[in-house]
Structure 1
Amino acid sequence: MSVQTRPDRRPPAGAPAREERRRTVARPTPAGLGATFALLLCVGGGVWAFAELQLNVATVVDSAGNVRDFLERMLPLRFPPVGELLDLTWQTLAIVIAATALSVLLSVPLGLLAARNTTPGGSVRSASRALIVLARAIPDVVFAIAAFRVFGLGAMTGVVAMGLHSVGMVGKLYADAFEEIDEGPRDALRAAGAGRLQQIAGAVLPQALPSLVATALHRLDINLRVSVVLGFVGVNGLGYALSNAIARLDYQEAMGIALVVLLLCFAAEAVSGKIRRSLLREVAEAPRAGVLKRVVGGRVLGRRLAARTGARRHEPVPAGPRGAGIRRRASPPWDAGRVRRAVVTALTCALVVASGVRAGISPDALARGAESLLPTIGDFLPPSTGGIGDMLLENLWITVQIALAGTLIGVVLALPLGALAARNVVPSPAVAQFFRSLILLVRGLPELVLAIVFVVVTGLGPVAGAFALGIGSVGLLGKLVADSLEEVDPGPARAVLATGAGRGQVFFTAVLPRAWPTVLAHLLYTLDVNIRSATLLGIVGAGGIGYDLLNAARVQQFDVVTVIVLMVLAVVLFVEGLALWVRKVFA
């Protein structure tokens, strides 16, 4: 039998090298072209919104006089009496801590139902994921408006509003953490006859615990800044005192309270960051200390348990008294590390209980809220435009313009700052730490406080909102860009550097291309966040549909509030879907 050989397809000797290179270049796909066009459309929309809102140097120059007047009106700073300030601070912290604890209590079971490896069924998982997305997409101010109808003016409104809204972020991250566990310990417990709840308690939750704690601490930082916003809709604490000072045009006291909030944000960021780093260090060092084998070490523990039950070798367990031949502790010894963790856990529980008491959480309050829940939901249904549908659409478009322009400002500032904050990009660790500290400093500024300042400086309208979002985006996007660049595989960069390339060439050929899909997703995520934030900034006169939202709530047109929420929700879900699609295409 003859064998037919395929003709040699190699180019003849002397053919141009570009023919070979042409074959290695991937052809663009329709999905890739569509994603690129969508990104270009977003960039073009940002440039157009920037020009439409007249954000230019002349606007800044014209506002220079207002800056001087504002400084004269706010200096010297004035603070409430010490006793009152301490009481307001503790009230704010109590609301934030209780709300974060509530979100954790709700997110653990919801995350277990939404995780692929712990949910009892596909329909349950889809429903849980939908609830998580809905909680994240609805602005926290809307939750506060509804909670105000149920619980009235006070701290309980803030706890419920922030707690429910936080489920959108905490629940998603918890579900992701549950899906990333090692299945070894769970398989071993299943082989030993453990039920579903026993598997979750003995194998799933212990492995995910560091991630759960880190997420809760991160959400605590965010809720502290959110508490300022909720003060404008009647939630007690520093935010409420700030809103009253602004209503009186008392900028000396308002900026003094804003400074206290800023210092609290910095302190919370520093403490939670230290705890998160400590958790990561303990997990990383656990194999050497023997802790990981008891708590997180799935494969080792799984194989040992499976061997003892005969699950892997299919051999009967040796006969004899229960536990014969096993000289292993049922629990780890009470060493210094375990004592420290127990003390920290006890103090944390005591702080949560004290915060709940200060926030007014009680069975009677919850019972009254349950009785008012259904009538309150009925107030928001059915949705109605209240005869101002055209104005709502126009203001929604202004909100989108504010978000686009603010995101463009943030991108222009955050991309270089994020690159300079990445330790694998800049040659000096000191330089990277300086720019990362600068990003964290900006990140600690509540956007509502920035909006208040820009409203006073530039006047009422979307210009103040765009500038506030632009500065606020630097803190969020700069950190995400720096983290994405640092997570790139260092191998290709070292290879390019070994060829004699400069740092700029290494960055543009080996670092940025590999991080680009993640960076793009972060850009769209920032736009998503800015759309929701632009809605909230309208409360203080920064333009957009947020002003209509607050007015509708004040005159108790809750059916109009529902329409506004649905309009914002549609835009947010569109941007979120676009971000997921772009990341999938470019991954």
Structure 2
Amino acid sequence: MQADFFAKKRRNSLGFLLILGAITFGAIVITEYNLVKGFESLPRAVTWALGNFYPTQESLSRLPGILNSLLETLLVSIAATTVGASFALFFAVMGSNTTRVNAFFGSISRGIATVFRNIDVAAWAMILLFSFGQSSLTGYFALFFGSFGFLTRAFVETIDEASGGSVEALRATGASYFSIIFQSVIPSSVPQMISWVLFMIETNIRSATLIGLLTGSGIGFTFNLYYKSLNYDIASLVVITIIVAILFIESISNYVRRVIL
């Protein structure tokens, strides 16, 4: 019986790999992508980057302006994430199977979160460009909508996993709805929710670079400006500052996670 089970799993895995391979081959044929030329171009790309894409002494004079743009991107990312988390917490409480008021409001909350989650932040930025134009506000709302959708889903799962038993116990004692929320659900879920918020901040900082290309703001716009003007030395300095900032934020996030989890 067990041998049949593992044989079936192997057949399913093999079937999946064959389907994936067929899809990949079909995509290569349809797009007329040449694998040989693609791999042959890698050494030339590396050689060009080593010969042109590096900061110089003159590019360091632009560092203060680059840091100001980076700071703007960091602040917008953090603000969009934290405000989005506040709204996500409310919708998660309404949408969770453990804490929802009724099935109707639960379905509405989950549906709204699903819509916002399944639209990429770049798509949100392009949609919002028609209303707000190229500005930091456009980038903020794009990151806010994306954060809200993702965190609502993450918070719903956190509430369902972390507080199911304690909620049932409090209901059995006759505790009110708000007592259950503030004395059980939120305290038991906060550490994992903070972890999700930190993860979202890291993600938004990376996404904000791309959003800046569309909205004409932040570090993304700064990189695009220097790259298109062929100032590759300054553009490389922008990339280095982005990498350092992301690694710094990630190290802080990992430290906080170790402390609270």
* TM-score range for the pair, normalised by the shorter chain length: 0.7 to 0.9
Runs of 4+ in 1 over 6 A off after TM superposition: 337-341
Pick from 135, 144, 155: which aligns with 1:470? 144
* AA matched with 1:383: P
The answer for the alignment partner of 2:235 in structure 1 is 561
The answer to whether structure 1 residue 586 and structure 2 residue 260 are counterparts is yes
Q: 1:481 to 1:293 in 2, by over 3 A?
A: farther
**Post-superposition offset of 1:386:** 6.2
Say whether residues 1:538 and 2:212 are aligned partners: yes
Which residues in structure 2 correspond to 1:109-128 (within 5 Å)?
none
Q: Which residue of 1 aligns with 2:29?
A: 357
Distance 2:79 2:61 in 1: 29
Give the distance between the partners of 1:574 and 1:545, measured in 2 at CA: 16
Looking at secondary structure, tell me which structure has more helix per residue. Answer: 2
Whichever residue aligns with residue 376 of structure 1, its letter is W
Alignment of 1:123-202 (within 5 A): none
Match of 1:492 among 149, 166, 171: 166
TM-score (norm 2): 0.87
1:348 aligned residue (7, 20, 23): 20
Instruction: Judge conservation of contact 2:159–2:185 (CA < 8 Å) in 1.
Output: yes
Of 404, 407, 411, 2:81 maps to 407
Q: Quick check: 2:72–2:218 contact (8 Å CA) kept in 1?
A: yes
Residue 557 to residue 358, structure 1, CA distance change in 2 (3 Å) = farther
User: In the TM superposition, what is the alpha-carbon distance from 1:534 to its structure 2 partner?
Assistant: 1.6
Residue identity matched to 2:205: I
Query: Taking structure 1 as reference, are residues 552 and 357 closer, same or farther at Cα in structure 2, changes over 3 Å only?
Result: farther
Give 5+ residue unaligned stretches, structure 2: none
User: Once the 2 structures are TM-superposed, how far is the Cα of residue 479 of structure 1 from its aligned partner?
Assistant: 1.2
Q: Which amino acid aligns with 1:409?
A: V
**CA-to-partner distance for each residue in 1:351-378, whole Å, 9 max, x for gaps?**
1211133344434213421331331331
- Alignment counterpart, residue 394 of structure 1, candidates 43, 57, 68: 68
Question: Which structure exhibits the higher relative contact order, with contacts defined as CA atoms closer than 8 Å and separated by 6 or more residues?
Answer: 2
Name the SS for the 1:371 alignment partner. helix
The amino acid of 2:40's aligned partner reads R
CA contact (8 A) 1:379 1:558 kept: no
For 2:52 and 2:150, how far apart are their aligned partners in 1?
33
2:42 pairs with 370, 384, 389, which one? 370
2:55 aligned residue: 383
Matches for 1:26-45 after TM superposition, within 5 Å = none
What do residues 291-348 of structure 1 show as CA deviations (whole Å, max 9, x unaligned)? 69854xxxxxxxxxxxxxxxxxxxxxxxxxxxxxxxxxxx45xxxx987766554333
- 1:512 corresponds in structure 2 to 186
Unaligned runs of 5+ in 1: 1-289, 296-330
SS at match of 1:400: helix
Which one-letter code corresponds to 2:211 in the other structure?
L
Contact persistence 1:517–1:586 (CA under 8 A):
yes
- Structure 1: distance between partners of 2:127 and 2:22: 38
Which of 418, 432, 441 in structure 1 is aligned with 2:106?
Answer: 432
Q: Does the aligned pair in 2 maintain the 1:379–1:559 contact within 8 Å?
A: no
1:542-579 Cα distance to aligned partner (Å, 9 max, x none): 41111111122223333322211221222222222222
What is residue 447 of structure 1 aligned with on the other side? 121
Q: Does the 8 Å CA contact 1:381/1:559 hold for their aligned counterparts?
A: yes
Cα distance change on mapping 1:381 and 1:339 into 2, 3 Å: closer
- Do 1:477 and 1:522's aligned partners in 2 also have CA atoms closer than 8 Å? yes
CA 498–569 in structure 1, closer or farther in 2 if over 3 Å, else same: same
CA deviations 1:162-186 (Å, max 9, x no partner) are xxxxxxxxxxxxxxxxxxxxxxxxx
Q: TM-score, normalised by structure 1?
A: 0.41
Change (3 A) 1:578 1:371: closer
Moved more, 356-365 or 487-496: 356-365
SS for the counterpart of 1:424 is coil
Q: Distance in 2 between matches of 1:435 and 1:376?
A: 51
- Residues 514 and 382 of structure 1, relative CA distance in 2, 3 Å threshold: same
Residues 464 and 542 in structure 1, CA contact (< 8 A), matched pair in contact too: no
**What value does the CA root-mean-square deviation take over the aligned residues?**
2.6
Q: 2: CA distance between counterparts of 1:479 and 1:582?
A: 22
Deviation at 1:412, TM superposition (A): 2.7
From the CA coordinates, give the structure whose radius of gyration is larger: 1
How many residue pairs match? The answer is: 259
